[in-house]
Amino acid sequence: MTMKRPITVALDGYSSTGKSTMARQLAKVTGYRYVDSGAMYRAVTLYAMRNGMIAADDTLDIPALVAALPMISIDFEVNGDRQSTLLNGENVEREIRTLEVSAHVSPVAAVPQVRHALVAMQQAMGRDGGIVMDGRDIGTTVFPHAELKVFVTASAETRARRRFDELKAKGEDINYDDVLANVVSRDHIDETRAESPLRKADDAVLLDNSELTVDEQNKILLDLFNSRINGD
Ligand code: DC
Protein backbone atom coordinates (compact mmCIF):
# COMPACT_ATOMS: atom_id res chain seq x y z
CA MET A 1 0.00 0.00 0.00
CA THR A 2 1.38 3.41 -0.88
CA MET A 3 1.26 6.07 1.80
CA LYS A 4 -1.14 8.80 0.80
CA ARG A 5 -0.41 12.38 1.74
CA PRO A 6 -2.11 13.12 5.07
CA ILE A 7 -5.11 15.38 4.77
CA THR A 8 -6.98 17.69 7.13
CA VAL A 9 -10.52 16.82 8.19
CA ALA A 10 -12.76 19.57 9.60
CA LEU A 11 -16.02 18.55 11.29
CA ASP A 12 -18.33 21.32 12.38
CA GLY A 13 -21.90 21.45 13.52
CA TYR A 14 -24.45 22.03 16.21
CA SER A 15 -24.07 20.81 19.77
CA SER A 16 -25.11 17.23 20.61
CA THR A 17 -24.99 16.00 17.04
CA GLY A 18 -22.51 13.31 17.98
CA LYS A 19 -19.84 14.86 15.79
CA SER A 20 -17.07 14.15 18.28
CA THR A 21 -18.00 10.45 18.32
CA MET A 22 -17.67 10.43 14.53
CA ALA A 23 -14.45 12.45 14.57
CA ARG A 24 -12.85 10.20 17.18
CA GLN A 25 -13.80 7.06 15.26
CA LEU A 26 -12.40 8.42 12.00
CA ALA A 27 -9.14 9.37 13.73
CA LYS A 28 -8.94 5.88 15.18
CA VAL A 29 -9.35 3.99 11.92
CA THR A 30 -7.08 6.32 9.95
CA GLY A 31 -4.40 6.74 12.62
CA TYR A 32 -4.89 10.51 12.45
CA ARG A 33 -4.67 12.83 15.42
CA TYR A 34 -8.02 13.88 16.90
CA VAL A 35 -8.46 17.35 18.38
CA ASP A 36 -11.61 18.35 20.25
CA SER A 37 -11.54 22.14 19.87
CA GLY A 38 -14.55 22.54 22.19
CA ALA A 39 -12.42 21.11 25.00
CA MET A 40 -10.02 24.02 24.53
CA TYR A 41 -12.83 26.59 24.98
CA ARG A 42 -13.99 24.62 28.00
CA ALA A 43 -10.47 24.64 29.51
CA VAL A 44 -10.19 28.43 29.13
CA THR A 45 -13.61 28.71 30.78
CA LEU A 46 -12.45 26.58 33.71
CA TYR A 47 -9.37 28.81 34.06
CA ALA A 48 -11.62 31.89 34.16
CA MET A 49 -13.88 30.29 36.78
CA ARG A 50 -10.99 29.23 38.98
CA ASN A 51 -9.37 32.64 38.83
CA GLY A 52 -12.39 34.68 39.85
CA MET A 53 -13.06 36.09 36.40
CA ILE A 54 -16.70 35.07 36.40
CA ALA A 55 -18.78 36.96 38.98
CA ALA A 56 -21.72 35.56 40.93
CA ASP A 57 -24.07 37.26 38.47
CA ASP A 58 -22.22 35.44 35.64
CA THR A 59 -20.51 38.53 34.22
CA LEU A 60 -17.17 37.72 32.68
CA ASP A 61 -14.17 39.97 33.41
CA ILE A 62 -13.02 40.13 29.79
CA PRO A 63 -9.96 42.40 30.32
CA ALA A 64 -8.64 40.09 33.08
CA LEU A 65 -9.15 37.02 30.90
CA VAL A 66 -7.49 38.64 27.90
CA ALA A 67 -4.52 39.66 30.07
CA ALA A 68 -4.21 36.09 31.37
CA LEU A 69 -4.26 34.41 27.93
CA PRO A 70 -0.44 34.20 27.62
CA MET A 71 -0.44 32.27 30.92
CA ILE A 72 -2.82 29.59 29.68
CA SER A 73 -1.45 26.52 27.98
CA ILE A 74 -3.62 23.72 26.69
CA ASP A 75 -2.45 20.29 25.60
CA PHE A 76 -3.91 16.87 25.04
CA GLU A 77 -2.63 13.67 26.55
CA VAL A 78 -3.41 10.43 24.78
CA ASN A 79 -3.79 7.23 26.79
CA GLY A 80 -4.90 4.36 24.60
CA ASP A 81 -8.33 5.12 23.22
CA ARG A 82 -8.91 7.99 25.58
CA GLN A 83 -7.74 11.56 25.38
CA SER A 84 -7.47 14.00 28.25
CA THR A 85 -7.30 17.78 28.19
CA LEU A 86 -4.46 19.40 30.12
CA LEU A 87 -4.72 22.94 31.45
CA ASN A 88 -1.25 24.21 32.36
CA GLY A 89 -0.20 20.58 32.71
CA GLU A 90 -3.11 19.52 34.92
CA ASN A 91 -5.58 16.89 33.70
CA VAL A 92 -8.95 18.70 33.73
CA GLU A 93 -10.83 16.32 31.45
CA ARG A 94 -13.51 15.52 33.97
CA GLU A 95 -13.96 19.06 35.25
CA ILE A 96 -14.44 20.66 31.84
CA ARG A 97 -17.44 18.39 31.14
CA THR A 98 -19.50 19.61 34.12
CA LEU A 99 -22.75 21.50 33.67
CA GLU A 100 -21.14 24.49 35.38
CA VAL A 101 -18.49 24.80 32.69
CA SER A 102 -21.10 24.19 29.95
CA ALA A 103 -23.17 27.02 31.39
CA HIS A 104 -20.29 29.52 31.25
CA VAL A 105 -18.50 28.58 28.03
CA SER A 106 -20.56 30.56 25.51
CA PRO A 107 -19.52 34.07 26.66
CA VAL A 108 -15.88 32.94 26.91
CA ALA A 109 -16.01 31.50 23.37
CA ALA A 110 -17.43 34.80 22.12
CA VAL A 111 -14.36 36.85 23.17
CA PRO A 112 -12.38 37.60 19.97
CA GLN A 113 -8.97 37.46 21.69
CA VAL A 114 -9.79 34.03 23.14
CA ARG A 115 -10.77 32.81 19.69
CA HIS A 116 -7.64 34.24 18.07
CA ALA A 117 -5.39 32.57 20.65
CA LEU A 118 -7.11 29.18 20.35
CA VAL A 119 -7.33 29.29 16.56
CA ALA A 120 -3.55 29.93 16.43
CA MET A 121 -2.94 26.90 18.68
CA GLN A 122 -5.28 24.76 16.56
CA GLN A 123 -3.56 25.80 13.34
CA ALA A 124 -0.18 24.90 14.85
CA MET A 125 -1.53 21.45 15.82
CA GLY A 126 -2.70 20.85 12.25
CA ARG A 127 0.31 22.24 10.42
CA ASP A 128 1.32 18.88 8.92
CA GLY A 129 -2.18 17.55 8.21
CA GLY A 130 -3.11 14.07 9.40
CA ILE A 131 -5.64 15.59 11.77
CA VAL A 132 -9.36 15.36 12.47
CA MET A 133 -10.64 18.40 14.35
CA ASP A 134 -14.20 19.04 15.42
CA GLY A 135 -15.82 22.27 16.52
CA ARG A 136 -17.85 25.17 15.19
CA ASP A 137 -15.46 27.14 12.98
CA ILE A 138 -12.92 24.57 11.85
CA GLY A 139 -13.91 24.53 8.16
CA THR A 140 -14.59 28.26 8.01
CA THR A 141 -11.78 29.81 10.09
CA VAL A 142 -9.23 27.33 11.46
CA PHE A 143 -8.64 25.23 8.32
CA PRO A 144 -10.38 26.98 5.43
CA HIS A 145 -8.32 24.80 3.04
CA ALA A 146 -9.13 21.46 4.69
CA GLU A 147 -9.46 18.69 2.08
CA LEU A 148 -12.57 17.30 3.77
CA LYS A 149 -15.15 19.43 5.53
CA VAL A 150 -18.34 18.02 6.98
CA PHE A 151 -21.11 19.99 8.63
CA VAL A 152 -23.13 17.78 10.94
CA THR A 153 -26.67 18.58 11.88
CA ALA A 154 -29.77 16.93 13.30
CA SER A 155 -33.15 18.27 14.33
CA ALA A 156 -33.26 20.15 17.65
CA GLU A 157 -35.67 17.49 18.99
CA THR A 158 -33.31 14.63 18.10
CA ARG A 159 -30.37 16.40 19.72
CA ALA A 160 -32.38 17.28 22.83
CA ARG A 161 -33.47 13.65 23.15
CA ARG A 162 -29.84 12.46 22.91
CA ARG A 163 -28.67 15.01 25.46
CA PHE A 164 -31.60 14.19 27.75
CA ASP A 165 -30.78 10.45 27.63
CA GLU A 166 -27.11 11.22 28.31
CA LEU A 167 -27.84 13.42 31.33
CA LYS A 168 -30.45 11.00 32.68
CA ALA A 169 -27.90 8.18 32.43
CA LYS A 170 -25.57 10.31 34.56
CA GLY A 171 -28.34 10.53 37.15
CA GLU A 172 -29.25 14.20 36.57
CA ASP A 173 -32.73 15.31 37.52
CA ILE A 174 -33.93 17.08 34.39
CA ASN A 175 -36.91 17.34 32.10
CA TYR A 176 -36.94 17.10 28.34
CA ASP A 177 -38.50 20.53 27.70
CA ASP A 178 -35.71 22.29 29.60
CA VAL A 179 -33.09 20.38 27.62
CA LEU A 180 -34.81 21.28 24.35
CA ALA A 181 -34.98 24.95 25.37
CA ASN A 182 -31.24 24.88 26.16
CA VAL A 183 -30.41 23.28 22.79
CA VAL A 184 -32.42 25.93 20.94
CA SER A 185 -30.87 28.78 22.92
CA ARG A 186 -27.29 27.49 22.43
CA ASP A 187 -27.95 27.18 18.67
CA HIS A 188 -29.06 30.79 18.64
CA ILE A 189 -25.97 32.03 20.55
CA ASP A 190 -23.63 29.95 18.34
CA GLU A 191 -25.23 31.18 15.10
CA THR A 192 -25.50 34.85 15.96
CA ARG A 193 -22.18 35.57 17.68
CA ALA A 194 -20.23 38.28 15.86
CA GLU A 195 -16.88 36.47 15.86
CA SER A 196 -16.81 33.23 13.80
CA PRO A 197 -20.49 32.31 14.06
CA LEU A 198 -21.48 28.69 13.47
CA ARG A 199 -22.05 28.37 9.76
CA LYS A 200 -21.56 25.69 7.14
CA ALA A 201 -18.57 26.38 4.90
CA ASP A 202 -19.68 26.59 1.25
CA ASP A 203 -17.58 23.56 0.38
CA ALA A 204 -18.62 21.44 3.39
CA VAL A 205 -20.68 18.29 2.95
CA LEU A 206 -23.94 18.56 4.88
CA LEU A 207 -24.68 15.48 6.97
CA ASP A 208 -28.01 15.29 8.77
CA ASN A 209 -27.78 12.34 11.13
CA SER A 210 -31.28 12.57 12.68
CA GLU A 211 -32.18 9.21 11.16
CA LEU A 212 -28.75 7.56 11.09
CA THR A 213 -27.22 5.02 13.43
CA VAL A 214 -23.69 5.58 14.72
CA ASP A 215 -22.40 2.85 12.38
CA GLU A 216 -24.13 4.42 9.40
CA GLN A 217 -22.71 7.88 10.05
CA ASN A 218 -19.22 6.46 10.65
CA LYS A 219 -19.39 4.68 7.30
CA ILE A 220 -20.49 7.81 5.45
CA LEU A 221 -17.60 9.75 6.97
CA LEU A 222 -15.06 7.04 6.17
CA ASP A 223 -16.32 6.83 2.57
CA LEU A 224 -15.95 10.60 2.22
CA PHE A 225 -12.47 10.40 3.70
CA ASN A 226 -11.43 7.63 1.28
CA SER A 227 -12.71 9.52 -1.70
CA ARG A 228 -10.75 12.64 -0.66
CA ILE A 229 -7.59 10.63 -0.02
CA ASN A 230 -7.90 9.23 -3.52
CA GLY A 231 -8.27 12.74 -4.86
CA ASP A 232 -11.90 12.32 -6.03
O1 DC B 1 -18.43 21.15 21.42
P2 DC B 1 -18.56 21.63 22.85
O3 DC B 1 -19.97 21.64 23.37
O4 DC B 1 -17.63 20.92 23.79
O5 DC B 1 -18.10 23.15 22.80
C6 DC B 1 -18.08 23.94 23.94
C7 DC B 1 -18.37 25.39 23.59
O8 DC B 1 -17.31 25.97 22.85
C9 DC B 1 -19.64 25.61 22.78
O10 DC B 1 -20.45 26.56 23.47
C11 DC B 1 -19.21 26.20 21.48
C12 DC B 1 -17.79 26.62 21.71
N13 DC B 1 -16.92 26.28 20.58
C14 DC B 1 -16.60 27.27 19.69
O15 DC B 1 -17.09 28.38 19.83
N16 DC B 1 -15.74 27.00 18.68
C17 DC B 1 -15.23 25.79 18.51
N18 DC B 1 -14.39 25.56 17.49
C19 DC B 1 -15.57 24.75 19.40
C20 DC B 1 -16.42 25.03 20.44
Which CATH number belongs to the domain containing residue 185 in this structure? Answer: 3.40.50.300
pTM (whole model) above 0.85: yes
**Within-domain flag for 2:** no
Q: How far is the CA of 37 from the centre of ligand 1 (A)?
A: 7
**Within-domain flag for 3:** no
**Within-domain flag for 224:** yes
**Within-domain flag for 1:** no
* Residue identifier of the C-alpha nearest atom 8 of ligand 1: 38
| Contact indicator for 23, 214 with CB cutoff of 8 Å | no
Average pLDDT, stretch 87-97? 95
Q: Which atom of ligand 1 is nearest to the CA of 12?
A: 18
Structural domain that includes position 37: 8-229
Map residue 34 onto helix, strand or coil: strand
Q: How far is the CA of 117 from the centre of ligand 1 (A)?
A: 14
The angle formed by the CA atoms of residues 119, 52 and 172, to the nearest 5 degrees, is 80
Q: What is the pLDDT of residue 224?
A: 97
Residue 1 has pLDDT above 70, yes or no: no
| DSSP structure class, residue 209 | -
Q: What is the pLDDT of residue 43?
A: 98
* pLDDT per residue as tens digits for the range 71-85: 999 999 988 778 999
* pLDDT per residue as tens digits for the range 33-43: 999 999 999 99
* pLDDT per residue as tens digits for the range 100-115: 898 899 899 999 999 9
**Within-domain flag for 182:** yes
**Within-domain flag for 35:** yes
Protein residues with CB under 6 Å of any ligand 1 atom: 15, 37-38, 41-42, 105-106, 109, 135-138, 190
* pLDDT per residue as tens digits for the range 174-204: 889 988 998 888 888 888 888 888 899 999 9
